[in-house]
């Protein structure tokens, strides 16, 4: 695909497995925003008018970062970031143990299609039937009803989503008959902790990831009920963005990215779901304002380093919460076979040990604590500089920022269980009574409370576990 006068107009044909937006991205102009609008065209051969989407590459306005961030701005941004991403947690929770895998069975990939059909029957069709009487109502009220729907949406949106701002923007989208673009940073790689994902490798996916892709697709279909110009999802996959930070080999993060994209295409979801690399998006943006971006990144990193040893009570508590999250998210594969499950739990989850642990456990705990501090500093700095520069909204203007974590000011996507697919495993209590709502995503150790023994259902092609069930 070549760029002519910096504008590209649909249709693009069906010769590529990539989505429309992915093909536009491959032809991007460095440092430019990717803008979309609907235009009027006439086909003289058929004698018909049509209204395709036109893509153009425009300059990004960087006036919002002309001045360097102040110390107070960074402090406020840090506190807001930690509050939005992490819970305060609980120290020294007892070790839950790990379930025992007593059998392995192989299953065909038609379970993906089965899950999609189940979701359509249990969630989408009933929603359409229930909302038929509302289609002539205010467009915003229909959006709000869908976003807070307990099945297709997320009921937490009722308390967190910025509905006042959304009301204004929805009117603009509708007036221009434009396709809505929802941007979701997510799908990094599978956590590398036996406590969370069992034996899964960093590039393994399971039915949890597939289910979230399908649920996003269903949201698009539901939006069509009252926004007939279409809704697209852009997953800003953050695996490469976080890989070095968390000790994940880049080739595994890239493999996870490619696998998710391939499965998306195989399920014929490219019409609604696009998947791009968040690190590529950030570097693309930086090409237009490298001086300001690097300046702010250094200032924010230096301030977070100061916060890590600060005496300020609020900042100190927030950093402790952040560090706890980083300790739990680190890869433990290199040493977890040398400790018991209970010892691994203490190393990853306890801020301080009881004192009667072995020297090996104490040493691993100290090492993980040092790494957690370093990761927390860089994790916060990288995310805050993205927020400071509003990278995703600047590269994709008029998009709607969505989130995995339900938090103030953003729209949360459907929740599939007590954690996100890449932080846990898919669990179906009884595969013989499989339905959309029977699929849950949980941390591997949490399954012990459900069933101390499990059956692993594996993919015939890759050999990876797609879900666990009760015996």
Q: What is the DSSP letter of 350?
A: -
Residues 68-77: what's their mean pLDDT? Answer: 97
Q: Would you say residue 4 has pLDDT above 50?
A: no
- Give CA–CA dist 147/143, Å, rounded: 6
Q: What pLDDT, in 10s, does the model give residues 182-195?
A: 999 999 999 999 99
Judge contact between 251 and 200, C-beta under 8 A. no
Q: Would you say residue 317 has pLDDT above 80?
A: yes
Q: Would you say residue 371 has pLDDT above 60?
A: yes
Residues 212-221: what's their mean pLDDT? Answer: 96
Least confident of 68-82, 119-133, 286-300, 374-388: 119-133
Average pLDDT, the chain: 91
Nearest CA to 418 among 84, 119, 87, 111? 87
Q: Would you say residue 134 has pLDDT above 60?
A: no
Whole-Å CA distances, 314 to 76, 79, 311, 320? 10, 8, 9, 10
Nearest CA to 211 among 269, 274, 253, 161? 269
Model confidence at 1, pLDDT cuts 50, 70, 90, reads very low
* Residue 11 vs residue 49, higher pLDDT: 49
Q: Would you say residue 274 has pLDDT above 50?
A: yes
pLDDT value of position 16: 83
Q: What pLDDT, in 10s, does the model give residues 436-470?
A: 999 999 999 999 988 899 999 999 988 999 999 99
Phi, psi of 59 (to 5 degrees): -65, 145
pLDDT value of position 9: 79
Whole-Å CA distances, 98 to 160, 194, 198, 231? 35, 9, 9, 41
Q: Would you say residue 135 has pLDDT above 70?
A: no
Which of 4-13, 81-90, 107-116 has maximum average pLDDT? 107-116
Whole-Å CA distances, 191 to 305, 416, 421? 26, 17, 9
Residues 315-340: what's their mean pLDDT? Answer: 93
Q: Would you say residue 2 has pLDDT above 70?
A: no
Q: How many CB atoms lie within 10 A of CB 396?
A: 21
Cis peptide bond N-terminal to 452, omega within 30 = no
* Residue 53 vs residue 295, higher pLDDT: 295
């Amino acid at each position: 695909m070549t760029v002519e006068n910096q504008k590209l107009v649909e249709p693009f044909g069906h010769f590529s497995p990539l989505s429309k937006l992915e093909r536009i991205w491959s032809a991007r102009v460095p440092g430019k925003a990717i803008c979309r609008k609907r235009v009027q065209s006439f086909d003289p051969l058929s004698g018909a008018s049509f209204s395709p989407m036109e893509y153009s590459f425009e300059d990004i306005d960087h006036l919002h970062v002309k001045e360097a961030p102040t110390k107070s701005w960074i402090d406020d941004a840090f506190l807001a970031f930690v509050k939005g991403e992490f819970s305060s947690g609980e120290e020294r929770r007892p070790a839950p143990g790990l379930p025992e895998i007593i059998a392995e069975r192989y299953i065909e990939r038609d379970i993906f299609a089965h899950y999609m059909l189940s979701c359509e029957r249990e969630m989408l069709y009933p929603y359409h039937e229930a909302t038929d009487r509302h289609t002539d109502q205010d467009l915003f009220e229909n959006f709000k009803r869908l976003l807070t729907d307990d099945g297709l949406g997320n009921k937490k949106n009722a308390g967190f989503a910025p509905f006042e701002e959304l009301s204004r923007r929805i009117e603009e989208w509708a007036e221009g008959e434009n396709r809505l673009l929802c941007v979701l940073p997510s799908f990094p790689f599978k956590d590398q902790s036996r406590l969370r994902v069992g034996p899964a490798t960093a590039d393994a996916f399971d039915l949890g990831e597939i289910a979230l892709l399908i649920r996003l697709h269903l949201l698009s279909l539901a939006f069509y009920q009252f926004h007939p110009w279409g809704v697209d999802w852009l997953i800003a996959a953050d695996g490469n963005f976080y890989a070095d930070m968390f000790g994940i080999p880049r080739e595994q993060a890239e493999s996870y990215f490619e696998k998710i994209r391939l499965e998306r295409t195989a399920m014929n979801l490219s019409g609604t779901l696009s998947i791009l690399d968040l690190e590529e998006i950030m570097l693309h943006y930086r090409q237009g304002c490298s001086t300001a971006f690097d300046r702010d990144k250094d200032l924010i990193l230096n301030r977070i380093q100061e916060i890590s040893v600060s005496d300020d009570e609020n900042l100190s508590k927030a950093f402790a919460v952040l560090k706890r999250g980083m300790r739990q998210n680190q890869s433990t594969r290199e040493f977890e076979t040398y400790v018991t499950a209970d010892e691994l739990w203490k190393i990853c989850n306890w801020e301080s040990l009881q004192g009667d642990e072995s020297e090996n456990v104490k040493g691993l705990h100290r090492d993980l604590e040092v790494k957690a501090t370093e990761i927390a500093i860089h994790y916060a700095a990288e995310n805050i500089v993205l927020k400071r520069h509003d990278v995703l909204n600047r590269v994709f203007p008029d998009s709607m920022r969505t989130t995995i974590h339900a938090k103030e000011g953003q729209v949360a996507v459907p929740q599939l269980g007590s954690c996100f697919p890449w932080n846990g495993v898919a669990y179906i209590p009884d595969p013989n009574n499989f339905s959309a709502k029977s699929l849950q995503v949980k941390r591997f150790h949490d399954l012990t409370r459900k069933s101390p023994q499990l059956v692993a259902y594996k993919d015939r092609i890759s050999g990876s576990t797609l879900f666990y069930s009760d015996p």
